[in-house]
Amino acid sequence: MNASATRIILGIGANLVPDGYETPQQGCAAALEQLVQHDITILEQSRWFETAPVPVSDQPWFVNAVILAETALSAAAVLAALHHIENQFGRTRTQRNEARVLDIDLVDYDGIVSGSDELTLPHPRMHERAFVLLPLYDVVPDWVHPVTCSSISTLIAALPADQMIRPMVDDAPDG
């Protein structure tokens, strides 16, 4: 990792297809390619997961992944970059927990704990969400919640049983 860079964890997901793409996963993958234009470098990516909406609703299932990245940007600048990318892909924010073409969350910013109306770190609900914790375990299995000091394994074990999540199957042909 670059000595002047900060380690960040991003969650990405979607359950609607952005214009110009065939699947929510394709839209998410394209959005990840935009990170470098905002001085965010991906170090590692989890597997893709299919997840039922939280809270439970009749929305389509989501595709989700977690990204370990590094940046020299401030947390506020990272959040602004993520919102910019979401807007490019047609994200609109009208109500909480609605279906969306793209959602990129700043889950953790170098273990910093802070709270404001604009940005709360770590993400305030991440420890309750299988769609964050299971992919996060793929990329940072030794991560510890900076507020509760709970290991990721402990957080996963405490998840509600009604959160449905499964790794996606890669249907790409070999060769």
Q: What are phi and psi of 172, to 5 degrees?
A: -65, 135
Q: Residue ranges of the domains in the chain?
A: 6-167
Please give the C-alpha separations between residue 74 and each of 6, 18, 23, 109, 150, in angstroms, as whole numbers.
9, 28, 32, 9, 25
What is the pLDDT at residue 97?
64
pLDDT in tens, 19-74: 999 999 999 999 999 999 999 999 999 999 999 987 777 889 999 999 999 999 99
In this predicted structure, the answer to whether residue 108 has a pLDDT above a threshold of 90 is: yes
What is the pLDDT at residue 171?
52
CATH of 6-167, one of 3.90.1150.10, 3.40.50.720, 3.30.70.560, 3.30.460.80: 3.30.70.560
pLDDT in tens, 122-132: 999 899 999 99
